[in-house]
Amino acid sequence: MQATEIKTKYDQPNNRGYFGDYGGKFVPEILIPAITALEEEYQKAQNDPEFLQQYHELLEEYVGRPTKLTFADKLTAHYGKAKIYLKREDLCHTGAHKINNAIGQILLARRMGKTRIIAETGAGQHGVATATACAKFGMQCIVYMGAEDTVRQKLNVDRMRLMGAEVREVTSGSKTLKDATNEAIRDWVTNVEDTFYIIGSVVGPHPYPMMVRNFHRVIGDETKRQILEKEGRLPDYLVACVGGGSNALGLFYPFMDDDVKIIGVEAAGYGVDSGQTAATITKGTPGILHGSLSYLLHDANGQIELAHSISAGLDYPGIGPEHSYLHDSGRVQYHAVTDEEAMEAVKLLSQKEGIIPALETAHAFAWLENLMPETSPDEIVILNLSGRGDKDMKTISENL
Amino acid sequence: MNRITKKFQEKQADEKLMSLFITAGYPDLESTVDLILGFEKNGADVIELGMPFSDPLADGPTIQYSSDVAIEKGISIDKIMDMVAEIRKHSEIPIILMGYMNPVLRYGVSKFCDRAKEVGVDGFILPDIPVEESGLIEKEADNVDIPIIYLVAPNTTDERMSLADEKSNGFVYCVSVTGVTGARSGEEVSQSVNRFIERVGENVTKNPKMIGFGIKSFDDAQKIAEKADGFIVGSALINKIKEVYPQQNWKDHVFDFVHSLKFGK
Ligand SMILES: Cc1ncc(COP(=O)(O)O)c(C=O)c1O
């Protein structure tokens, strides 16, 4: 299965967990033994054919991979420009890409003899993916989720509980993903001996950003193979939404050395200058949050600002350190779209293609309004359809 | 000589030094200087002045709460530096600035170190800067001769304890239980502590050892700090303030508590 991974020249991060100037491990001393052990175990697992076989077998038999690369004929006709393909992560078991990573990390947790799993979640998709993996492997599961998100993503709270996970509502700060992450880290600091923290995006201290990216690269590896089969060539554009940035890096990473334009789309909330935004790269500056140095929304005193997005999974004032590096280096272009633009995209994709996307995912599609006019009919655009929208029906109905 | 080192040299053989953690700007911006001067009169030997951060991920609810209050009241690094300058007009008590790195980074690391030197700060404790990431501030702190004090925990390896000892100056901060600040009771703490402190004793040979996290009373302190040079109280002090503020004479109640921590009743 390893053979399907395409070797890259792009060689971030370095052995200290830095992507250029970003990343690192800014954690209390108490967590150093845990992340050191994780780093060592992950290195071993990565080179262990048995581990890789088990991981890929689960992705195939349980998650339902490979996911399809669907030609979006109606959406293509709508814009009348480049051909649009959709990488169908919405078809993964549990309805989003998050499960690729949850499966990888739970296998690591088992190798390390940990019995208790904790996770943070925003949209609830990572929480559901983790609860699913824990049910499958009979492990104790505790998920931290902001009180605002337990309301707007109630369906996912019910799913987690049904599968036996304990969902702990977090009422501090903005009551969203940032605060859920704080609480998960506090739990980890307190219970580090028996607890494995399954982080849900390419954030946190080294080795998480690298490891989570690698567990998601299957998205890009498959896409590359599939587009070569269908079109006999690589795409001209890749587009994905960016919260922490895991679905984006999963798709982008195998294309880093290729002549492909890459676009990440952040959540602007009410607008990048509204003060109510989650556009971290567009509006932020470098700082340290949740264990790594990366772009951040913070005030002049270095206090973290409350983010806002209609989408719980993008409602986060930070971003994975590799994205900060890719932004500075210019390899990836980052843009932001508003809540309203994302809602329009939900409608368009639902009506043109019969696919209801997650609100997170809709941000990537909203950027087509800007991108498509620049493209030509002989070009190819691939979007990462990171998740399906069932969980968002309440918010969507309220905003239609 | 650094005020911290001097303090440890003056310490009686059987005495335990008491370091108090107080969040700058809690319970209000005006009280911090008075509180610290009063702490000194009532037995505090060292002050850890907390620089509030919105997302203190190694801290429990008590310090989160006090940080939120102080941020709400408009605390900033400039104001904290002014507080230290004001204290220095009246007192030579060692003052260590303790806080997460992001506000420092945002302020500017060089500017932070220069200003700290200017007002009379004696050390930095940065809980989210393990030795591997010290490059972010080590040189700047060194330039102004302000030591960084590193933490060690029961799960810290012997090698890392030695490294923390080598890199620290003044004392080594021993976190007595794995956990966020204020999370455990004194009873629970004391059992695991002895083995930890023994190991610290074998590996930390250059610096004095201060032990903290979870100490609530004189008895806790005596038990927990038996094999250390002193102890640190943070959450229990903040809780005391929370209990009595803003009653009449609330500061006196707090000072009585501080006195009892150091001397018993
Ligand atoms: C469907 C979907 N897409 C995207 C995201 C954002 O996360 P990331 O940027 O890590 O892919 C989430 C997060 O919850 C999600 O559920």
The pLDDT value recorded for residue A398 is: 95
> pLDDT digits over A157-192, tens only?
999 999 999 999 999 888 999 999 999 999 999 899
Residue B185 has pLDDT above 60, yes or no: no
Higher pLDDT, A8 or B195: B195
In the predicted structure, residue B71 carries a pLDDT above the cut 60: yes
Q: Span B105-132, mean pLDDT?
A: 98
Q: What pLDDT does A270 receive?
A: 98
Residue of A nearest to B152 (CA): A29
Q: Which pLDDT does position A400 carry in this prediction?
A: 87
User: Quick check: CB of A122 below 6 Å from ligand 1?
Assistant: yes
For residue A110, how far is its CA from the centre of ligand 1 (angstroms)?
Answer: 25
Average pLDDT over residues A76-86: 98
Residue B166 has pLDDT above 60, yes or no: yes
User: Does the beta carbon of A28 lie under 8 angstroms from any beta carbon of chain B?
Assistant: yes
Average confidence score pLDDT of chain B: 94
Task: Kindly state whether A184 is in contact with chain B, defined as any CB-CB distance less than 8 angstroms.
Answer: no
**Cβ separation of B54 and A290 shorter than 8 Å?**
no
Tell me what pLDDT residue B1 has: 80
Three-state SS letters, chain A: CHHHCCCCCCCCCCCCCEECCEECCCCCHHHHHHHHHHHHHHHHHHCCHHHHHHHHHHHHHHHCCCCCEEECHHHHHHHCCCEEEEEEHHHCCCCECHHHHHHHHHHHHHHCCCCEEEEEECCCHHHHHHHHHHHHHCCEEEEEEEHHHHHHCHHHHHHHHHCCCEEEEECCCCCCHHHHHHHHHHHHHHCCCCEEECCCCCCCCCCHHHHHHHHHCHHHHHHHHHHHHHHCCCCCEEEEECCCCHHHHHHHHHHCCCCCEEEEEEEEECCCCCCCCCCHHHHCEEEEECCEEEEECECCCCCECCCCCCCHHHCCCECCHHHHHHHHHCCEEEEEEEHHHHHHHHHHHHHHHCCCECHHHHHHHHCHHHHHHHCCCCCEEEEEECEECHHHHHHHHHHC
pLDDT band for position B177 (cuts 50, 70, 90):
low
pLDDT (tens digit per residue) in A338-396: 999 999 999 999 999 999 999 999 999 999 999 999 999 999 999 999 999 999 999 99
Whether residue A172 lies within 8 A of chain B, CB to CB, comes out as yes
**pLDDT bracket for residue B54 (50, 70, 90):** very high
Best residue of A15, A186, A294 to probe chain B, by most B CBs closer than 10 Å: A186
User: Is residue B195 over pLDDT 80?
Assistant: yes
* pLDDT above 80: residue A245: yes
ipTM of this complex = 0.94
> For position B220, what pLDDT does the model report?
87
Chain A and chain B share a number of CB contacts under 8 A equal to 106
Q: Is A98 a catalytic site residue?
A: yes
With 80 as the cut, is the pLDDT of residue B253 above it? yes
**pLDDT computed for residue B224 by the predictor:** 84
The predicted model gives B49-60 an average pLDDT of 95
Which residue of A189, A291, A301 is in closest CB contact with B76?
A301
* Confidence category of residue B214, pLDDT binned at 50, 70, 90: confident
CA distance B107 to chain A (A): 7
Q: What pLDDT digit, counting tens, does each position of A214-225 carry?
A: 999 999 999 999
Give the pLDDT band (50/70/90) at residue A311.
Answer: very high
Pick the catalytic residue from A87, A98, A114, A175: A98
Euclidean distance between CA atoms B207 and B224, whole angstroms:
18
Per-chain mean pLDDT for chain A = 96
pLDDT of residue B194: 77
- Whether A120 sits among the annotated catalytic residues: the reply is yes
> What pLDDT, in 10s, does the model give residues A17-75?
999 999 999 999 999 999 999 999 999 999 999 999 999 999 999 999 999 999 999 99
* Active-site residue flag, B158: no
Nearest residue (by CA) to ligand 1, atom 1, is: A387
Q: Which pLDDT band holds residue B184 (cuts at 50, 70, 90)?
A: low
Task: Please report the sign of the dihedral spanned by the C-alpha atoms of residue A275, residue A278, residue A280, residue A281.
Answer: negative
Q: Atom 15 (ligand 1): residue with closest C-alpha?
A: A313
Q: Which of A130, A241, A388, when mutated, tests ligand 1's pocket best, judged by the most ligand atoms within 8 Å of its CB?
A: A241
Query: Does the CB atom of residue A217 touch ligand 1 within 6 A?
Result: no
Predicted local distance difference test score (pLDDT) of residue A3 = 44
A206 in contact with chain B, both atoms CB, cutoff 8 A: no
pLDDT score at A180: 97
pLDDT of B183 above 70? no
Q: Does A25 touch chain B (CB under 8 A)?
A: yes
Ligand 1 centroid to residue A20 C-alpha, Å: 24
